Structure 1
Amino acid sequence: MTRLLIADDHPLFRTALRQAIGESLGDGVVHEAADMPGVLAALASDADIDLVLLDLNMPGSHGLSGLAALRGQYPSVAVLVVSAHDEARTVRRVLDHGAAGFIAKSASPVEIGEAVRTVLDCGNWLPPSLAKAVAALPADPADADLAARLARLTEQQYRVLTLLGEGLLNKQIADRLSIQERTVKAHVTAIFEKLGVRNRTQASLLLRSLALAEPAL
């Protein structure tokens, strides 16, 4: 039985996705999550999830950071990005960070169903209206390199990195994560080594490079 996870902070959109998936696939297990901690918790509790339909902006995930975390921590789980960020360059970056496909939030239920079936069949999916423009853009070696470095982080190290990006000090991070400050220091040292950075500023800049411009209205 197919097992999917819908990750979006808007309940109405999650309902619409669930309905489109149900009409396309029939029986299956569909989990839902409204933020990135919920996504990671769902994946940790159900090792048989086949596909995550991931919004790029939700609590705990902004831009490509959530995608990077999923691909690093759960590389065997396919990710289909569902976003209003439908510019060709953004879609190219989504693919470079390991997504199996992309569908715009304006996609019809029929297109959503086709995208999900294609990715579950181990294929890749792009909207026909974007495929040519995305194919014309070369892959960015910087994104591929960043994705590889982020994939080396553990789940807890990624949480620490995210809080570093928010400007929190070690003690504040320890309080937020309910761990010892010395544990945070050990994580920070490991993060710097794995990412090839020297200090908190460089680590924060690297994380911010995953941000995306607001989509045009």
Structure 2
Amino acid sequence: MIPPLKIIIADDHPLFRQALVNILTSQFDNVTLFEAETVTALDEILQQHDDADLLLLDLNIPKAHGFNTLVNIRNTYPHIGIVVISGQEDKVTVGKSMSFGAAGFIPKSTSAHQMVKAINSVLAGQQWSPVNSSDLASVTLDSVSSKIASLSPRQHRILMMFADGLLNKQIAYELGLSEATVKAHASAIFLKLGVHTRTQAVIAMSQLYLDKVSLVAEVE
């Protein structure tokens, strides 16, 4: 018996999630869907269902920190296909999404028919985006973004917790680590990013926020 297709929908808008549920259940005969409206809920689902086939990820889900959740999930669950679904569909946002490991990019303005076509392409092992690959070739990651993308899953998770304002003691509790281990990870993060403090690390991380991408797009 063929196991059901597992798809996770991570979006904080109930109406849009319901629309995706309706589209997917009508187009796929054997599919199990999971819904998350926050990064915390998404983390829990991924831990319980790390055999998921596909993640439909809204870049603006609460506490996603722009591309940072995409980077973290891509590094932690490399076998799960990720399709970014976003209201921002400029070339830079699409290009960076693909550079950070998304297998596909679907603008929220896309028709249901095209969404299904995109999802089927990704499930078949192909990439899909609304922008020609030749247009995306000019979109490259800056050095800070590349450094952040090179962090280990654990290091990147801790960096995101820094951005959320958690203390070392709180991070240690959340991750089941000792404070000494958290401090060691922090030192490694600072070294990789070429910074000396938490504040500088969080500022570097902010380069992956969507507002930064929008500014770049406007300049271009």
- The TM-score with structure 2 as length reference comes to 0.83
Partners of 1:170 and 1:186 in 2: CA distance? 11
Specify the code of the residue in structure 1 equivalent to 2:30.
D
Corresponding position: 1:100 with 2:103: yes
Partners of 1:153 and 1:177 in 2: CA distance? 12
RMSD: 2.7
2:117 to 107, 114, 117: 114
Match of residue 38 from structure 2: 35
Partners of 1:207 and 1:38 in 2: CA distance? 22
Match of residue 163 from structure 2: 165
Contact 2:148 2:156 in 1 (8 A): no
Aligned residues: 210
Partners of 1:94 and 1:134 in 2: CA distance? 15
Corresponding position: 1:184 with 2:187: no
After superposition, give the CA deviation of every residue in 1:46-96 in whole Å (9 maximum; x if it has no partner): 122011000001122131111111111111111000010111111111111
Residue 74 and residue 147 in structure 1: after superposition, are their counterparts in 2 closer, same or farther (change >3 A)? farther
The runs of 5 or more residues in structure 2 that have no matched partner are 216-220
Partners of 1:212 and 1:48 in 2: CA distance? 29
For residue 43 of structure 1, report the CA deviation from its aligned partner.
1.3
Residue 56 and residue 136 in structure 1: after superposition, are their counterparts in 2 closer, same or farther (change >3 A)? closer
Partners of 1:112 and 1:72 in 2: CA distance? 25
SS in 2 for 1:86: coil
For residue 133 of structure 1, report the CA deviation from its aligned partner.
8.0
Match of residue 218 from structure 2: none
Match of residue 209 from structure 2: 211
- The TM-score with structure 1 as length reference comes to 0.84
Match of residue 73 from structure 1: 76
Contact 1:89 1:134 in 2 (8 A): no
For residue 35 of structure 1, report the CA deviation from its aligned partner.
1.0
For residue 159 of structure 1, report the CA deviation from its aligned partner.
3.5
SS in 2 for 1:29: strand
Residue 171 and residue 3 in structure 1: after superposition, are their counterparts in 2 closer, same or farther (change >3 A)? closer
The runs of 5 or more residues in structure 1 that have no matched partner are none
2:129 to 126, 129, 132: 126
After superposition, give the CA deviation of every residue in 1:103-146 in whole Å (9 maximum; x if it has no partner): 1111111111111111000011112xxx2387254141427723
Partners of 1:74 and 1:178 in 2: CA distance? 20
Partners of 2:26 and 2:153 in 1: CA distance? 38
Match of residue 22 from structure 1: 25
